[in-house]
């Protein structure tokens, strides 16, 4: 079945530094979505990428969808303490509607 | 817009009893709702896909007789955990789809003693 892998599993970042989390799917995706889950909270939708090679920005967050539509990345610049949480990517296969979640990257920010 | 609610937000029940969790889309109609389970520090695992007016589609390894799903209207889906056991303790999250996006409820934390 479809698998979605995320690395790293944990990311300890000094406040102000940048980091990137990567997402790889075993199958080609029709779209990929990113979610953020704060400790004790539920996943909150961040963005959806649909087109091959697509890049979208949200303030300090940059999302990219690979050319082959099998991988994606989230880059955060100038990390802040409010960025703490787990970032999940989730992909939908072509002609499907089910989200398969990656394992998530748990981000801790050192002030 | 696109708000999904869940009730209850947390529940403690005794082993052997059943628990019903409600998922509602408050400001939109959702033909499809999804139920996920999340164990501590793990990812979300899809349990089943629920379509209004039809039987739910369960993922491999999920017992349909234990996790009963009803999707009676375009704004309400329910998950009933029957004969709950301590290993069923988890965070249960629903989502409702609107176009290609899924909006998640706040989750229900179930503890079975």
pLDDT score recorded for residue A94: 76
Distance of CA A64 to CAs A71, A90, B100, Å?
Answer: 8, 13, 18
pLDDT, mean of residues A1-27: 93
Q: Which residue of A has its CA nearest to B57?
A: A98
Task: Tell me whether B99 touches chain A (CB under 8 Å).
Answer: no
Q: For residue range A21-76, what is the model confidence (pLDDT) as tens digits?
A: 999 999 999 999 999 999 988 899 899 999 999 999 999 999 999 999 999 999 99
Question: For the CA atoms of chain B, what is the radius of gyration?
Answer: 13
Confidence tier at A93 by pLDDT (50, 70, 90): confident
pLDDT score recorded for residue B54: 84
Residue B107 and residue A98: Cβ atoms within 8 Å? no
Instruction: Pick out chain B residues at pLDDT < 50.
Output: none
Residues in A closer than 8 angstroms to B93, CB to CB, are: 42-43
Q: Which of B30, B43, B61 would you mutate first to test chain A, the one with the most A CBs within 10 A?
A: B43
Report H helices in chain A: none
Q: Which of A43, A44, A48, A108 would you mutate first to test chain B, the one with the most B CBs within 10 A?
A: A43
d(CA B109, CA A89): 23
* pLDDT at residue A7 is higher than 90: yes
How many residues belong to chain B?
113
The whole-chain average pLDDT of chain B stands at: 93
Q: Under 8 Å CB-to-CB from A105, ≥6 apart: which residues?
A: A6, A7, A8, A9, A10, A11, A21, A86, A87
pLDDT score recorded for residue B72: 82
């Amino acid at each position: 079945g479809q698998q979605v892998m995320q690395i790293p599993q944990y990311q300890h970042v000094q406040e102000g530094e940048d980091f990137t989390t990567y997402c790889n799917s075993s199958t080609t995706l029709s779209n990929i979505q990113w979610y953020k889950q704060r400790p004790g909270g539920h996943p909150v939708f961040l963005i959806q990428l649909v087109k091959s090679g697509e890049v979208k920005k949200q303030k300090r967050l940059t999302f990219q969808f690979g050319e082959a539509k099998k991988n994606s990345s989230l880059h955060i610049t100038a990390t802040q303490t409010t960025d703490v949480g787990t970032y999940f990517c989730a992909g939908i296969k072509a002609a499907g509607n089910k989200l398969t979640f990656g394992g998530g990257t748990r981000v801790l920010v050192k002030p | 817009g696109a708000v999904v609610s869940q009730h209850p937000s947390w529940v403690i029940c005794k082993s052997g009893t059943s628990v019903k969790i409600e998922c509602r889309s408050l400001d939109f109609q959702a033909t499809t709702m999804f139920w996920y389970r999340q164990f501590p520090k793990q990812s979300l695992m899809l349990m089943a896909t629920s379509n209004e007016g039809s039987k739910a589609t369960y993922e491999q390894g999920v017992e349909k007789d234990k996790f009963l799903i009803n999707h009676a209207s375009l704004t309400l889906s329910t998950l009933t955990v029957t004969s709950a056991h301590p290993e069923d303790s988890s965070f249960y999250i629903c989502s409702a789809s609107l176009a290609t996006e899924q909006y998640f409820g706040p989750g229900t934390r179930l503890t079975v003693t």
